[in-house]
Amino acid sequence: MTVRLFRQLREPREGIDSAQWAETEFGGAPLGGRRLSVRLVKSMSMLADVIGHSITAHTDADRAAVKGYYRLLESKKDKTVTPENILAPHRGRTIERMRS
């Protein structure tokens, strides 16, 4: 009897939509405030829609959202916006998936 250990691989856009994915993967990032967390989720959703391209390649990307994305990444005042904190929930979810 053969046991399948791996689930079927999915294409990047297959399954949940980009907004759901971004909320699931980045919604709990410890960035020091709800406003920053909401901005991160929105930015990651936009990036998921344009995999392999710049964030401005998205035809529906509004200028304010793109500007907010760059402000989030360039935040010098707020020391909680770090690569480690941005990726913390995504790493945790990845480890959960690996364990299952």
Q: How confident is the model at residue 84 (pLDDT cuts 50, 70, 90)?
A: very high
Tens-place pLDDT, residues 5-38: 445 555 555 567 888 889 989 998 998 888 888 9
The angle at the Cα of 69, spanning 67 to 70, to the nearest 5 degrees, equals: 65
Of the candidates 82, 77, 86, 76, the one whose C-alpha atom is nearest the C-alpha of residue 40 is 86
Does an H or E element contain 1, and which? none
Please report which residue ranges of 1-100 form alpha helices under DSSP H: 18-26, 34-49, 63-73, 83-99
Distances from the Cα of 79 to the Cα of 30, 49, 66, 71, angstroms: 11, 28, 21, 13
